Every structure is written in C-alpha cells, then in structure tokens.
C-alpha cells in the first residue's frame, strides 16, 4: 500500500507533526495526543542501533516522533484498543515508515510476553494518570481508557517496562507530580532506578503539572534534577523550548 492508498475515515483528520513532513491520523472528536506526548519524545533518548517500544502508544505519536528525532534502529508501539491501533498503523503507512515503526495490538499487562523479555534498549510510556477513584470518568470509552487506570495500572506499566528492558536499558515516563512519591517507589520495586527528572510548569511561578522521568534498569542511586520546562512565556505564547520541541 502506498501513501495515496491510505484510507482516512469520515470521522478522522490528518494533522501535520512539523517534523520530516510527517503526519498523523486522529479522530476529529476523539482523544488526541497532547503536549505530554510531545515533551516525552523530546526528553527520551534513542541512540544509534537501539530498539525502543512505547507502551500504550495510542495513535503512535511517540514512536513516529522518536523516529524523526533520533537515530534508533526500530520503534514499536503497543496499543490495546483495536480502533486506535488501526489508526496508528495507517499513520505509519501514511509516512512510509513501515520498515522502521511497528504497531502491535496487545495488552500492556502482557507486553513482555508479546514482545519479548529483555528485547529493548528503551521503553517509553505516557500512561493513564488517574486511578479509578480520581476525577470524573469520561463517558467516551476511548478517552476514559487513555486517562484512567481502567485497563492497566502504574505498577503494570513499570513491571512490564522492567521486563522488556535489557540490563542497563532506559525507561522514560511522563506523569503527574502529585504521584511522584508513588512512582519512585514502584520504579525501585522493579529495579528501575530514577536517573533524570524534569518538571514542567505552565508559567513561571505556577506549580508543576507534569514530570518527566528517566530510570535505568539496574542503575545506581544518583539522580539528576534538570532545569524545569516552562510552557508559556505569557498567555498564548509558547516558550522557546516548547517551540523547539514542537519543531516550530
């Protein structure tokens, strides 16, 4: 199938990713990728000849962006929702990336069985942030699964990341700062030692609303807290770092 033959459904749109002329298929009124996914793709490092996998990849945004930004050998996205995985597959075809980016439909809780233990140098994840008791669950099932721990928990994601990684492999996660203590405890439970942390603030003087973490399987105990990301210089104006990350 060539790019011209990739089907776009009536309830879908095609968005420009501002990188390598890549585009992505998304629902017009469904869950779409957000800044957290873009920031994670900027924070994660995939080196030459390394293999990466993204857990809960959605429409494939993180593998596609990392293919554009890094020199990795292969980029895999695992997604449980059939309809969403299909969109991701079509985005891969739309960009002619079928020899480097691979979408697998499957359950995060069985990721290491599906994709192979100790098979990857890098694992990334932008998982659901909210436990089932938190917030109002979205009536749209696709959005609810993306935002709430309905089909997997934080522990499921971390456990499978650890199993998927080779010794010394790196796990990159974006999450909410209010769960930071829990995140660090779960990471260490599964031999993933936090090594880098970056907080994201909407404005100078406002509290952080996202945290980016890198953890190493079997790593040492020292962690570097990097300079924070400030999203907006002023209302409606992105900071230079955000513009660079987005490719503006």
The dihedral through the CA atoms of 171, 174, 179, 180 has a sign that is positive
Would you place residue 139 in the very low, low, confident or very high pLDDT band (cuts 50, 70, 90)? low
Would you place residue 197 in the very low, low, confident or very high pLDDT band (cuts 50, 70, 90)? very high
**Percentages helix, strand, coil for the chain, rounded to the nearest 5?**
30, 30, 40
Q: Tell me which DSSP letter residue 101 carries.
A: E
Domain containing 85 equals 3-246
CATH at 97: 3.40.50.150
Total Cβ atoms within 10 A of residue 118? 13
Q: What are phi and psi of 93, to 5 degrees?
A: -65, -40
pLDDT digits (tens, 9 = 90+) for 39-55: 999 999 999 999 999 99
- Given a cut of 70, is residue 26 above it in pLDDT? yes
What does pTM read for this prediction? 0.90
The chain-wide mean pLDDT, for the chain, equals 91
Contact 108, 78 (CB under 8 A): yes
pLDDT for residue 136 = 47
- Given a cut of 80, is residue 146 above it in pLDDT? no
pLDDT for residue 31 = 79
Would you place residue 138 in the very low, low, confident or very high pLDDT band (cuts 50, 70, 90)? very low
The percentage of the chain sitting over the pLDDT mark of 70, rounded to a whole number, equals: 89
Contact 230, 199 (CB under 8 A): no
Contacts for 104 with CB less than 8 Å, ≥ 6 apart: 76, 77, 78, 79, 85, 114, 115
Over residues 227-235, mean pLDDT: 95
Contacts for 6 with CB less than 8 Å, ≥ 6 apart: 90, 93, 94
- CA–CA dist 248, 232 (Å, integer): 14
Domains: count for the chain: 1
Q: Partners of 51 in the beta sheet?
A: 74
pLDDT for residue 247 = 78
pLDDT digits (tens, 9 = 90+) for 85-134: 999 999 999 999 999 999 999 999 999 999 999 999 999 999 986 665 54
């Amino acid at each position: 199938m060539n790019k011209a033959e990739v089907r776009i459904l009536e309830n879908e749109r095609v968005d420009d990713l501002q990188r390598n002329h890549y585009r992505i298929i998304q629902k017009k009124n469904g869950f779409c990728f957000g800044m957290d996914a873009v920031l994670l793709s900027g924070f994660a490092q995939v080196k030459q000849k390394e293999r990466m996998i993204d857990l809960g990849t959605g429409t494939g945004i993180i593998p596609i962006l990392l293919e554009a930004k890094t020199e990795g050998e292969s980029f895999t996205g695992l997604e449980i929702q059939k309809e969403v995985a299909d969109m991701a597959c079509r985005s891969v075809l739309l960009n002619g990336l079928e020899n480097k980016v691979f979408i697998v439909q499957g359950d995060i809780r069985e990721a290491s069985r599906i994709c192979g233990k100790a098979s990857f140098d890098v694992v990334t994840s932008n998982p659901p942030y909210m436990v089932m008791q938190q917030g109002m669950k979205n009536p749209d099932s696709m959005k609810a699964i993306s935002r709430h721990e309905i089909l997997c928990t934080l522990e499921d994601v971390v456990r499978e990341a650890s199993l998927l990684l080779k010794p010394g492999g790196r796990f990159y996660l974006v999450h909410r700062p209010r769960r930071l203590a829990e995140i660090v405890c779960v990471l260490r439970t599964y031999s993933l030692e936090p090594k880098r942390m970056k907080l994201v603030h909407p404005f100078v003087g406002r509290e952080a609303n996202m945290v980016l973490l890198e953890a190493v399987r079997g790593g040492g105990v020292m962690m570097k807290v990097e300079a924070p990301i400030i999203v907006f210089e002023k209302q409606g104006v992105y900071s230079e770092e955000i513009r660079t990350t987005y490719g503006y």
